[in-house]
Structure 1
Amino acid sequence: MKVKSKTYHNLINGEWIIPTSNEFKESVNPADYKEIVGYAPLSSPRDVDNAVQSGKNALPDWRKLSGSARGEYLLKAASILEQRADDIAETLTREMGKTLVEAKNETLRGVNILRYYASEGMRSIGEVIPSTDEKALFFTTRGPLGVVGLITPWNFPVAIPIHKMAPALIYGNTVVIKSAFETTITAIKVMECFKDAGFPPGVVNLVSGRGSTIGNALCEHSDVKAISFTGSNEVGQLIASKAVQRGVRFQLEMGGKNPVIVTQHADLDLAAELTVSGSMKSTGQKCTATSRAIVVKEVYEAFREKLIQKIESIKVGNGLLADSYMGPVSSRNQYDSVLNSIKKGIQEGARLVTGDKPIKNEELSNGYYIAPTLFDDVKPKMSIAQEEIFGPVLSLIKVESLGEALKVANDVKYGLSASIFTNHLDEVFQYMNEIEVGMIRINGQTTGIDFHAPFGGLKASSSQSRELGRAAMEFFTSIKTITMNP
């Protein structure tokens, strides 16, 4: 007997509320698009207004709490999330497609992020400054911004909402989150943990729907004091322009075209292993995914053969199956977009080594599966070497030297993450000094972030602000400078 799919609602003022439109849309499983994971709300600007008003009403009491008291709420949410990790991870895999192992790790990362920021409630938020008046006490402190809007992507529907919400909340803000519609049900299950942790009504709110409708409403709302966004450059630029017009703070984390550089002094086995992992895990759908392998000529052929061997051994399948290394891409739109990028690479003259096709067999016939794809003879100005693909596609570029490799690596509009593989310290220093990215890796993959350290990119990858670690305090608070006289 087929189980009827559940219908989900928005979280506003501590209650699960039917959208004012009374409209819902199915969320489908990209591994089998005949399976409906559930029905998510199609909200209207009126729902956004209700959520923002709820956050505004809850703000005075929430900001009055001590940091340690707010941290207790985060710890409760962390414990509940940990208890429900298996269910949430399975929902994530069914809704987005990444493997269950990756989904479980992402969920547990969310647990650790909450616990890290819970401890932030007991850390310094200011400093005492020497005063020119010997009788005065001169110091700084920080206060919350108010209601903040959080717009999050579909590729990390647990970790990214939490790594935005946790610092916003610990520093005394209230939040309205607009999750990516493709993974709304996963985000709602995360929000259930916050509700069940006993957060006061209105402190955390979620509104689901199309970005063109409710994303715009959130960015334009006069009571929203800041917007934190992760997603595409096109949408990020629109958000920035709206924020500038209103004079409110904004934070953008956007695309990447992340390179690995392989020199003649590299451990080629390690480089190949981590290049494949960085480019193919999560089906290449990470902003930090490896997209280009820039290799000096002395080791180019040997490195290419190692890549081919590893890529052709990848098991593609339903992410719920234990032996699947790579699942489907997340949606029909993503499927079409990636295949179009591959087609353009062939048309521009890059040599296809392996891949270039959707995977169609009886077991995978109803899913958005694309074979892991490797291009050779890629020129630095080709579109596949310049444009973010966000899929399992890797481009090989041959160079004469490390100097040329760095020029090629930097010659894109993005500047998020990069890695070099070498055992020579002088090459490491040259790379660190010349690479134009925010996240610099040495003998490691371009993907992965540490939640206790600043994260962000340069150039078109970011608004130059940083997320995570103590750097999050810079965005989610305002400095107050205080002089106290006797």
Structure 2
Amino acid sequence: MPRLVGGAWREPREGHAIDVVDPADTRRVVARVPEMDPAEVAELYELAEAGAAVWAATSPLERAAVMVRTAALLRERAAEIAADLVAEMGKTRAEADGEVGKAADFFDYYASWARQPYGQLLHDARPGTETSTRTEPLGVVCLITPWNDPLLTPARKAAPALISGNAVVLKPAGETPLVALHLARALDDAGLPAGVLGVALGRASRISAALLDDPRLAAVSFTGSTEVGRSLQRQLAGRDVRLQTEMGGKNATAILDDADLALAIPTVAAAVFGQAGQRCTATSRIVVDRAVAEKVIAGLVEAAKALRPGPGGEPGTTMGPLVSSRHRDEVLGHIARAEADGAVLAVGGSAPAEPEFAHGCYVLPTVLRDVAPHMAIWREEVFGPVVAVRVVDGFDEAVEAVNDSVYGLAAGVFTQDLGRAHEFARRVNAGQVSVNLPTPGWDVHLPFGGFGASGSPFKEQGAEALRFYSRVKTVAIRFGA
């Protein structure tokens, strides 16, 4: 597939391409995309610098019009985009359809900000002086996005960056570049000026220095592992480059003794196993009161057994594969270590044994019980269809167990006591708190981001995202004596 460079689409150079494979059958090559070198990344920045000047001078209403057209094109092409998303990442078709729709929503939502008030007038103690604030774009921003939501996350970042007037260099994950190219195609077809968007394709080990060391870089927004996010913090330290990070999570949901189990069990099961657990907000720890623990565990086991793994595009599939063979092996390694540490396997714990799964990256939905706080499975992010269950006694122990993590992305509680719900929301250390709801599922206008090792102070989504992609200038004008 070609890549977008300065408003033109270039085919891969001979011998410089990367195969994209289907995680449902790794023998199948889905596409070949360009493998860029550092010089080609530098060219993107050169074009972005020129594009940023044009885009910053463009009326926000004109920017919004491009974004509205982009949203319409994404919806118009939804079937094709979703099919590629299933093929390269492994999601079910329903999950892929949902992602395309939500990506379009980001562009519509941020386009609406072109008609919102901006800046403010401020009283000034100096006579005859009018003081105001205004916002300006930063310039060129680099967006580094993961493989688990390869269209939604670029849209989540690019939409506020673009409406704010910035140029964007997008680096999608190497496993899932196809839908990022669909996004670039939609923006280009919608009339985005040349250079305002460039897509950097290739292996991070080869082009990361070119992406991060360029002097024209004003900001980096990153979604991925905490390990890589911390590395970015060190690499960008001491430079005038903003950094936004949405990193790891070990999200916990507490099921209290008064919970409505008919609501809690299927809701939590969907939060654990949806997208094969490959969501940053997936529930990966369950804290359950001893009074209802056996019922909850039995319900989770039943829900896990009811899931049907398979290729995402196949009718009847309710859970697709993991994104790669390497990731599958890592998840299986976490499960094996948990058992060695003393956790008890209630269901799952392996790859499917049937021959039709032999060349896919599958892990059966897994429930681990009798988990103790010292175990790695309680503390380390797995990012797969695996949940660790810990039994506690009472509300205070439940809150303590939920907070027993270096991460702080999402947390949930199931209770019928409104006082407990508010107290849980007050005491829990997480950026997103759900009551009688799944931990995933936050809409485009709701601020999103975590605490601790889960991310930086800059939030994504909603009005908060615009703060990261713009700077504030204060202007005082003396107009009289």
What range is the shorter-chain TM-score in? over 0.9
**Aligned residues of 1:147 and 1:225 also touching (Cα < 8 A):** yes
Q: Which residue number corresponds to residue 456 of structure 1?
A: 449
**Structure 1 residues 407 and 456: CA distance shift in structure 2, 3 A:** same
Deviations 1:18-68 (A, max 9, x none): 457851111000001111100122111111100011010111121011111
Q: Which residue number corresponds to residue 345 of structure 2?
A: 352
**Aligned residues of 1:456 and 1:467 also touching (Cα < 8 A):** yes
* Cα distance in 2, alignment partners of residues 206 and 319 from structure 1: 26
Q: Which residue number corresponds to residue 227 of structure 2?
A: 234
* Cα distance in 1, alignment partners of residues 470 and 304 from structure 2: 45
* Cα distance in 1, alignment partners of residues 461 and 209 from structure 2: 25
Q: Does residue 292 of structure 2 align to residue 292 of structure 1? A: no
Q: 1:413 aligns with which of 406, 414, 417?
A: 406
**Aligned residues of 2:13 and 2:34 also touching (Cα < 8 A):** no
Map residues 82-101 of structure 1 onto 2, 5 A cutoff.
Answer: 82-101=75-94
* Cα distance in 2, alignment partners of residues 283 and 149 from structure 1: 29
Structure 1's unaligned 5+ residue stretches are 1-7
Q: Does residue 305 of structure 2 align to residue 309 of structure 1? A: no
Paired letter, 1:403: D
Q: Does residue 117 of structure 2 align to residue 124 of structure 1? A: yes
Q: 1:366 aligns with which of 313, 338, 359?
A: 359
Q: Does residue 454 of structure 2 align to residue 471 of structure 1? A: no
Q: Which residue number corresponds to residue 5 of structure 1?
A: none
Task: Please give the secondary structure, in 2, of the residue aligned with 1:380.
Answer: coil
Deviations 1:118-157 (A, max 9, x none): 1111212211111112421111010000000000000001
Q: Does residue 397 of structure 2 align to residue 404 of structure 1? A: yes
Q: Shift of the alpha carbon at 1:333?
A: 1.2
Q: Which residue number corresponds to residue 336 of structure 2?
A: 343
* Cα distance in 1, alignment partners of residues 11 and 98 from structure 2: 32
Q: Does residue 69 of structure 2 align to residue 76 of structure 1? A: yes
Task: Please give the secondary structure, in 1, of the residue aligned with 2:26.
Answer: strand
Q: Shift of the alpha carbon at 1:250?
A: 0.5
**Aligned residues of 2:146 and 2:173 also touching (Cα < 8 A):** yes
* Cα distance in 2, alignment partners of residues 173 and 381 from structure 1: 46
Deviations 1:295-347 (A, max 9, x none): 01111111111111111111111110231110000001111110100110010
**Aligned residues of 2:36 and 2:202 also touching (Cα < 8 A):** yes
Q: Does residue 215 of structure 2 align to residue 222 of structure 1? A: yes
Map residues 189-338 of structure 1 onto 2, 5 A cutoff.
Answer: 189-338=182-331
* Cα distance in 1, alignment partners of residues 336 and 238 from structure 2: 40
* Cα distance in 1, alignment partners of residues 283 and 67 from structure 2: 33
Task: Please give the secondary structure, in 1, of the residue aligned with 2:279.
Answer: coil
Task: Please give the secondary structure, in 2, of the residue aligned with 1:182.
Answer: coil
Deviations 1:86-126 (A, max 9, x none): 11001000100010100011001011111111111121221
The alignment's TM-score, normalised by the length of structure 1, stands at: 0.97
The percentage of aligned residue pairs carrying the same residue is: 36
Q: Which residue number corresponds to residue 3 of structure 1?
A: none
Task: Please give the secondary structure, in 1, of the residue aligned with 2:371.
Answer: coil
Q: Does residue 147 of structure 2 align to residue 142 of structure 1? A: no
Q: Shift of the alpha carbon at 1:222?
A: 0.7
* Cα distance in 2, alignment partners of residues 221 and 360 from structure 1: 49
Paired letter, 1:420: V
Q: Which residue number corresponds to residue 476 of structure 2?
A: 483
**Structure 1 residues 20 and 138: CA distance shift in structure 2, 3 A:** farther
* Cα distance in 2, alignment partners of residues 207 and 249 from structure 1: 20
**Aligned residues of 1:257 and 1:386 also touching (Cα < 8 A):** yes
Task: Please give the secondary structure, in 2, of the residue aligned with 1:245.
Answer: coil
**Structure 1 residues 21 and 137: CA distance shift in structure 2, 3 A:** farther
Q: Shift of the alpha carbon at 1:10?
A: 2.4
* Cα distance in 2, alignment partners of residues 202 and 47 from structure 1: 13
**Aligned residues of 1:356 and 1:371 also touching (Cα < 8 A):** yes
Q: Does residue 96 of structure 2 align to residue 103 of structure 1? A: yes
The alignment's TM-score, normalised by the length of structure 2, stands at: 0.98
Q: Which residue number corresponds to residue 157 of structure 2?
A: 164
Superposed CA RMSD in Å reads 1.1
Q: Shift of the alpha carbon at 1:213?
A: 2.2
* Cα distance in 2, alignment partners of residues 376 and 417 from structure 1: 21
* Cα distance in 1, alignment partners of residues 192 and 390 from structure 2: 51
Paired letter, 2:304: I
Task: Please give the secondary structure, in 2, of the residue aligned with 1:363.
Answer: helix
Q: Which residue number corresponds to residue 434 of structure 2?
A: 441
Q: Shift of the alpha carbon at 1:449?
A: 1.6
Q: Which residue number corresponds to residue 13 of structure 1?
A: 6
Q: Shift of the alpha carbon at 1:374?
A: 0.4
Which moved further from structure 2: 92-101 or 213-222? 213-222
**Aligned residues of 2:363 and 2:385 also touching (Cα < 8 A):** yes
Moved over 6 A (4+): none
Task: Please give the secondary structure, in 2, of the residue aligned with 1:246.
Answer: coil
Task: Please give the secondary structure, in 1, of the residue aligned with 2:357.
Answer: coil
Deviations 1:449-475 (A, max 9, x none): 211111000000001210111101110
**Aligned residues of 2:16 and 2:34 also touching (Cα < 8 A):** yes
Q: Shift of the alpha carbon at 1:17?
A: 2.5
Q: Does residue 382 of structure 2 align to residue 386 of structure 1? A: no
Task: Please give the secondary structure, in 2, of the residue aligned with 1:180.
Answer: coil
**Structure 1 residues 40 and 385: CA distance shift in structure 2, 3 A:** same
Task: Please give the secondary structure, in 1, of the residue aligned with 2:280.
Answer: coil
Task: Please give the secondary structure, in 2, of the residue aligned with 1:175.
Answer: strand
Q: Which residue number corresponds to residue 429 of structure 1?
A: 422
* Cα distance in 1, alignment partners of residues 311 and 297 from structure 2: 28
* Cα distance in 2, alignment partners of residues 212 and 234 from structure 1: 15
Which moved further from structure 2: 295-304 or 207-216? 207-216
* Cα distance in 2, alignment partners of residues 250 and 125 from structure 1: 24
Paired letter, 1:51: L
**Aligned residues of 1:68 and 1:119 also touching (Cα < 8 A):** no
Paired letter, 1:243: L
* Cα distance in 1, alignment partners of residues 207 and 65 from structure 2: 31
Paired letter, 1:333: R
Paired letter, 2:221: S
